[in-house]
Structure 1
Amino acid sequence: MKILIVDDEQILLDQLRQAFEGQRYMVETALDGEQALDKLFDAPFDLIILDIMLPKQDGLSVLREIRQAGMSTPVIMLTAKVESDDKIAGLDLGADDYLSKPFSLDELMARVRALFRRSGGQTDPVLCFKDLQLDTVSREVAKAGRLVELTAREFSILEFLLYNKNRAVSRFNLTEHVWGDTFDPFTMSNFLDVHIKNLRHKIGDSGHGSIIRTIRGVGYIIKGEDK
């Protein structure tokens, strides 16, 4: 399951990212409405946790825009405001749930689980492509039935590419997902190339019919039929 959390409080974002990743969710974050829209229209998400009070573009306008675009991704709205008008406006625009700040992390987690159940979200934790399988719960990878030992970074790269199967993933989005804000393009520019090379070697990805394809000047893609 992949979640986008949108809030202008960096400390809260970091706390929520850590909590959800600890529950095996894939997490992306955004600090303002414009950044949120860029990410939402760049890659699919299973759930959006969206604060109302945001810089550049507020949460209600973000919600309005994605619903007008036909995006049905479940949305939980967050706000520090207590006025019922905000809640009504969010629900009218298509929000699925609503939580006022400050909130309990346990309550947010419970609402996320309930929303996934109601929306019929993906329950199979195994991502597959041809004879390659990645279990997002046990964090095991197998190729043709043989377990493959990957580092945490290599696993994250493969998981992200498999989740976005048949979609081009830019180098920027991939490094942001794997390294987060710690990635420095000036001193770590070759880190991704080294990890991709090692990952390809470990999963026997070479020659005709390779799994991870390079899109020159863009990034990478896993493309084709599952079988």
Structure 2
Amino acid sequence: MRLLVVEDDSRLLMQLDTLLRNHGYSVDLADDGKKALFQLSEHPYDLAIIDIGLPVVDGFDVIRRARKNSVECPILILTARERWQEKVEGLDAGADDYLTKPFHNEELLARIKALIRRASGQANPVIELGPIALDTRSEELSVHGKALDLTAYEYKVMEYLMLNPDKVVSKTELTEHIYDQDFDLDSNVIEVFVGRLRKKIDPENTLKPIETLRGRGYRLNKNLKGD
């Protein structure tokens, strides 16, 4: 999943960058509101974390302008402000949730996962498709109740597909959401990951969990049965 973090405190910005990367997220950074608006206009994000007290353009205005420009990703506000009126203003501007500084890292990570799930129409932390279950809390994929041994990027690919079950997802889109922006978009590494996932999920080739739509991308097979 690809996140944008907007924070003018350079120390906290670097701490968040390290925390999120260590938990498997691809992260872009901005330290003022103008840079944030540019990033939001140029790249597709799964979630944005935005501080309210930003230089150049404040966080409230960043959120309003982003929503006006049809940015639909979930937005989590970070604020050091305790007044409830300012939290309400942030939510009214278009944010989805807020977290008051200082915060526990575990709470931030839990809120990120919950917001991304809800944006995909998934309230339950365990996403199921036939015999396949993806637990977003433990980051574990299982088939018929048996956990699979996946690499970090194999999990990221399957997580993105399961959070977008009705969508044909191109290789470019997958690459943008699981890698940092300087990754080679022409690489065939996504094909390799999908091939490995098919073998691990469906070694007997009976489920056919991931469909390939030639020239378009990949889509989950929604006709999987639980038996």
The equivalent of 2:141 in structure 1 is 141
The equivalent of 1:60 in structure 2 is 61
Partner SS for 1:194: helix
1:36 to 34, 40, 43: 40
Q: For the structure 1 residues 78 and 201, does the alpha-carbon distance in structure 2 shift closer, same or farther, using more than 3 Å as the test? A: same
Partner SS for 2:215: coil
The equivalent of 1:82 in structure 2 is none
The equivalent of 1:7 in structure 2 is 6
The equivalent of 1:200 in structure 2 is 198
The aligned runs of 1:210-225 (5 Å cut-off) are 210-222=208-220, 224=222
Deviates more, 1:176-185 or 1:190-199: 176-185
Q: Where does the alignment leave 5 or more consecutive residues of structure 2 unmatched?
A: 31-35, 81-85
Q: For the structure 1 residues 145 and 67, does the alpha-carbon distance in structure 2 shift closer, same or farther, using more than 3 Å as the test? A: same
CA distance in 2, matches of 1:136, 1:3: 15
**How far 1:104 sits from its partner (Å)?**
3.8
Q: Please tell me the root mean square deviation across aligned C-alpha atoms, in Å.
A: 4.7
Q: For the structure 1 residues 198 and 61, does the alpha-carbon distance in structure 2 shift closer, same or farther, using more than 3 Å as the test? A: same
Q: What is the percent sequence identity of the aligned residues?
A: 28
Partner SS for 1:176: helix
User: Amino acid of the residue matched to residue 60 of structure 1?
Assistant: D
Q: Where does the alignment leave 5 or more consecutive residues of structure 1 unmatched?
A: 80-85
Per-residue displacement from partner, 1:87-120 (whole Å, max 9, x unpaired)? 8864552445475xxx5453x7657768999xxx
Q: For the structure 1 residues 60 and 19, does the alpha-carbon distance in structure 2 shift closer, same or farther, using more than 3 Å as the test? A: same
Q: For the structure 1 residues 209 and 91, does the alpha-carbon distance in structure 2 shift closer, same or farther, using more than 3 Å as the test? A: closer
User: Amino acid of the residue matched to residue 191 of structure 1?
Assistant: V
TM-score between both structures, scaled by the size of structure 1: 0.62
Q: For the structure 1 residues 55 and 185, does the alpha-carbon distance in structure 2 shift closer, same or farther, using more than 3 Å as the test? A: farther
User: Amino acid of the residue matched to residue 138 of structure 2?
Assistant: S
The equivalent of 2:160 in structure 1 is 160
Q: For the structure 1 residues 185 and 63, does the alpha-carbon distance in structure 2 shift closer, same or farther, using more than 3 Å as the test? A: same
For the 8 Å contact 1:154–1:199, the answer to whether it is kept is yes
User: Amino acid of the residue matched to residue 77 of structure 2?
Assistant: I
User: Amino acid of the residue matched to residue 131 of structure 2?
Assistant: D
Q: For the structure 1 residues 68 and 7, does the alpha-carbon distance in structure 2 shift closer, same or farther, using more than 3 Å as the test? A: closer
Q: For the structure 1 residues 51 and 64, does the alpha-carbon distance in structure 2 shift closer, same or farther, using more than 3 Å as the test? A: same
The aligned runs of 1:44-55 (5 Å cut-off) are 48-51=48-51, 53=54
CA distance in 2, matches of 1:97, 1:70: 18
Q: For the structure 1 residues 73 and 200, does the alpha-carbon distance in structure 2 shift closer, same or farther, using more than 3 Å as the test? A: same
For the 8 Å contact 2:76–2:98, the answer to whether it is kept is yes
CA distance in 1, matches of 2:2, 2:185: 25
User: Amino acid of the residue matched to residue 36 of structure 1?
Assistant: L
For the 8 Å contact 1:50–1:59, the answer to whether it is kept is no
Q: For the structure 1 residues 91 and 147, does the alpha-carbon distance in structure 2 shift closer, same or farther, using more than 3 Å as the test? A: closer
For the 8 Å contact 1:132–1:143, the answer to whether it is kept is yes
For the 8 Å contact 2:67–2:94, the answer to whether it is kept is no
What is the number of equivalent residue pairs in this alignment? Answer: 209
